[in-house]
Amino acid sequence: MTNPLEHDVFWKIHRDLPREAPGSDAATMQALAMLPDLPTNARILDVGCGPGAQTLALAKATQGHITAVDTYQPFLDELACRAFIAGVGEQITPVQASMFELPFDEPFDLIWSEGAIYIIGFAEGLAAWRRHLKPGGSIVVSDLSWLQPDPPAEAHQFWQEAYPGIATIEANVSRLEAAGYRSLGHFVLPEEAWWTNYYRPMGARIALLRTQYHDNPEAQRILDLEQAEIELYRRYASSYGYVFYLMQAA
């Protein structure tokens, strides 16, 4: 069985979507408003930026400069294009690099990462990125979290396989404190932000690709997997969600 990421149908599902994870401009703004004021011309790092919906929102809401990092060049190209159209191109520098080895010497006032820290791991990412933060600098991450301590078995099994590092909000707050941060608060992303910008457009794309790949069983298997994630959320949205965690270097 092919790793889904190595099959072109996976990248056709995840091409030209508004976002590559649940989120919304409103949630990005809510998190930004909960932070201490940023200095003028703040240096901001957006890790795992994808096509950059949150990068654009940050550029419009601040006077900062945002270095947007992702490993997948087509997302960075899309971000550059969107930034140019939105008139914020000069505030954003897309950089192809890995969150495991961030190639920056000068520290940042703010590190932002929506729906991407799971790749390196919540505690691991916070520990590794701390050296890229100025003293007193802040970090905002959104990460898939259990909203109840004892989730339904089906949801538990799915996410234990897909994201073994998933934890409750309380556990993640303890993890960020253990990594040397002071919590500035957290909030759960509203359910609508899963559907509007992510699962609804993704579901429409899956339906289209099902006909295009009707004679390709491997592609159909990958489409099934992606559809299963959507259906799981439809059933268990009260059990897990994306949570924004805000913190400051202690």
Q: Which residues bind ligand SAM (CB under 6 A)?
A: 19-21, 23, 48-50, 53-54, 69-72, 75, 98-100, 114-116, 119
As a whole number of angstroms, the distance between CA 105 and CA 94 comes to 16
Q: Do the beta carbons of residue 49 and residue 75 sit within 8 Å?
A: yes
Measured distance CA(236)–CA(246) in Å, rounded: 25
Residue number, nearest CB to ligand SAM: 50
Q: Which is nearer to ligand SAM, 68 or 219 (CB)?
A: 68
In the complex, least distance from residue 120 CB atom to ligand SAM, rounded to whole angstroms: 7
Contact call for residues 213 and 7 (beta carbons, < 8 A) = no
Distance, in Å, from the CA atom of 108 to the CA atom of 218, rounded to the nearest integer, reads 43
Q: How far is the CB of 115 from ligand SAM (least distance, A)?
A: 4
User: Residue 150 Cβ, how far from ligand SAM at the closest point, in Å?
Assistant: 26
* Between 23 and 241, CB nearer to ligand SAM: 23
Beta-bridged to residue 65, according to DSSP, are: 43
The residue (of 42 and 120) whose beta carbon lies closer to ligand SAM is 120
Q: Retrieve residue 144's tokens.
A: 């898939």
| The token pair that represents 239 in the structure block | 């059990």
**Minimum Å distance from CB 164 to ligand SAM?**
16
Taking the least distance from each CB to ligand SAM, the nearer of 181 and 198 is: 198
